[in-house]
Each structure stands twice: as C-alpha cells, then as structure tokens.
Amino acid sequence: MAKLAVSCILFIFFINTLFQSASAAYNVINFGAKPDGKSDATQAFLRAWSSACYSNSPATLHVPRGLFLVKSISFNGPCRHRIVFQIDGTIIAPSSYWSLGNSGFWILFYKVNRLSIHGGTIDATGAGYWACRKSGKSCPPPTRSISFVGASNIVVSGLTSINSRFFHIAIDECVNIMLRKLKINAPSWSPNTDGIHIQSSSGITISNSTIMTGDDCISVGPGTKNLWIERIACGPGHGISIGSLGAYAAEDGAKNVTVTDSIFTGTQNGVRIKTWARPSNGFARNIRFRNIIMTKVFNPIIIDQNYCPDNHCPHQELGGGQSVAVDITTKYKKEHQQTSGSKFWLQFKQAVHRNQITGHKAYLFQ
C-alpha cells in the first residue's frame, strides 16, 4: 500500500504539470473541419493532431462548439510535447453501422504520452448497430468508442460518452491513466456496451463518474494491476466485473484492484469475479471491494470459478481454476422487503480451496 500511495502522489504531481496552460493552439476549424454534423471532419482532425504532435512546444488541440462528424481515426504518438485535447463540442460517428470498417475502433490513441482530454461529448450513434445485432443479420465487427493502446500518462476529465456500439472506453497495454468526472450512457438493453474496459495495464485510476450502460460498468481483464476505482455511480448495467480470467493456460492475472465508496443501483450484478475452470497461470489477487452501497441489485456479490458464458465448455475442470484473494465490505439497502432478486447475498460457484476471502461484511439497512 505504501508503494501505491507514493505512485499516487507522483501521478498527481504529473497531472498538475499536465494541466498547465499550453503555448501553441490548433483549432480543428482552421484545418477545414465544419461544425455542421454532416461534413466529414476526419482529415481536418488528423491535420490538427499532426501539427499539435510535432509542435516545438506544448500544444492544445481545440474542438469548439458544434457537431463534428468523424469516421474511424487514429491519433498516433509519440509526440514531442504534452498535448491538451480540449473538446467543447460534440464528436459524432456516421450513423451507418458499416461506416467504421473492420478495425474495431472509432477513436484510437496509439502510443501517445502526456495527453489530457477535457470535456465534450462523443456520440457513437450505436442504435443502428444494436438493431443489427438484435435482428441476427450479418453485422460488422463491434467498434470501441475510445481506445488507448500503448499509451502512458493520460488524463481524461469531464468527457461524456453516449451510444457506444461496443466498449465506451478501452485501455490496453497502458501505464498511468486517470479517468475522472466521466458520464457514460447507453440503454440498458444495448449489447456489450461496457463502460470502461481495462487489460494489460498498470496504474489506472477511475473516479467520480456516472456509468449507465447495457453491460459491465467497468470490466477488468487479464494483466491488470494497481487499479483504483472510487466514487462510481453504476446502474443500470451489469456491475463491476473482474474477468473473465484464465481462458488460456499462459495468461497474466489481475492484482491490486480496489473498488471503494461506490453506489450500484438497479444493476444485474454488484461486484463479480469470474474465472474459467481450466489450468492457467491466471489469478485474482489482492482484490478489495470496500464501502459499496447496493440498491435493487439482483446478484450483489458473485465469485464464479466455473465461468462458461455459453454453457458449452467441454474442457472445464472442476478445481482447475485460478486462485482468488478478495476483501469485501458492502452495504445493501432493503427495498420493499426484498434484499435482492437472488436468494443469495454472496454466491460462490464451483469455488476451489485456493481462495482467501477476508473481511467480508455485509450490512443490510432500511
């Protein structure tokens, strides 16, 4: 914990430095973007990014008020100096669900360092894609709204993400990412619209955010360590989930994950750990769920070591799953004489002997 505290102090120092005013400014309108929501602004955004990235001094890329239509786009680094990406308007994706291609992303930040993104709204216009999925038609691969891959020292603050076709925000192979004061919104029935997904990353902080979506509010994948989640309002959605872990024999686990001071309302699950029941190097270690308040949550706490999403897992081995070490302190609000939609407060599914469940306290209050 001491190392984590030192890391947090250093990260806060970095953030204060990052938020200092930049000396060069690049407005996307000056590069040809039109704020009408109809004209393709993709190339204008790329030209503005290139100028900011290769600037000889710290830079601001400014998206002013208005609607800016942007197709699949990749902001590549590394850049020479820190960049502030100031969004005062709305970035909108084309309505056609074929328009973003097969890349799997809409807005990608690749190998970018020292970036802060402030404010604004991104609208992935997911309704058409959700309808395609529901109809059973042939649909293109799902696209993440914002992806950070191989990035470091990133701050995202005050951003609103709506109508994602897949994950709203995805973090992969990143170091030192802070997400705060976010608003994430998709209908409760929208498929696979996780709010935030993290994997193979370290030093991630998510705080003071509201997440309403059709899948996990936050999902934590293999290779995640030193993740701090606090003051999250989750619901509707599927709660906060660690895993699935152990799908492959050689796979990193998840460790040093804390979820604290958060509220779950009307979610399918509260907090969940799910691992495949097969031999693997994967694990869930030093997991802490603290000061959690749940209201009308169907499955408050689940630890599932026999995870099988489609019930066709012929290679599952009871007792072959990964070890789990978790500390839990939760509160559950009683509603109309019904504590939850499930009979069980804390569910273990095919749990094996290598688990360490400590400090579990469940409070039921009126």
Amino acid identity for residue 246 in this structure:
G
The sheet carrying 105-110 orders its strands as 73-76, 105-110, 144-149, 169-172, 196-199, 218-220, 240-245, 269-275, 299-304, 346-349
Q: How many other CB atoms are found less than 10 A from the CB of residue 9?
A: 10
How far apart, in Å, are the Cα atoms of 38 and each of 4, 30, 32, 33, 91?
46, 17, 13, 10, 11
If we measure between CA atoms, which residue out of 267, 218, 276 comes closest to residue 244? 276
Q: How many other CB atoms are found less than 10 A from the CB of residue 168?
A: 30
Chain centre distance of CA 148 = 10
**CA gap 128, 279 in Å, rounded:** 40
Ramachandran angles phi, psi of 133, nearest 5°: -60, -40
* Cβ neighbours for 131, distance < 8 A, ≥ 6 positions apart: none
Length of the chain in terms of residues written: 366
Rg (C-alpha) for the chain, rounded Å, is 21
Confirm whether 238 is a catalytic residue: yes
**CA gap 334, 70 in Å, rounded:** 46
Q: Considering 62, 168, 197, 238, which one is annotated as catalytic? A: 238
* Cβ neighbours for 314, distance < 8 A, ≥ 6 positions apart: none
The DSSP symbol for 21 reads P
Strand 196-199, strand 83-87: pairing: unpaired
How far apart, in Å, are the Cα atoms of 177 and each of 18, 33, 221?
12, 29, 16
Ramachandran angles phi, psi of 356, nearest 5°: -130, 105
Q: How many other CB atoms are found less than 10 A from the CB of residue 307?
A: 23
The catalytic residue positions are 238
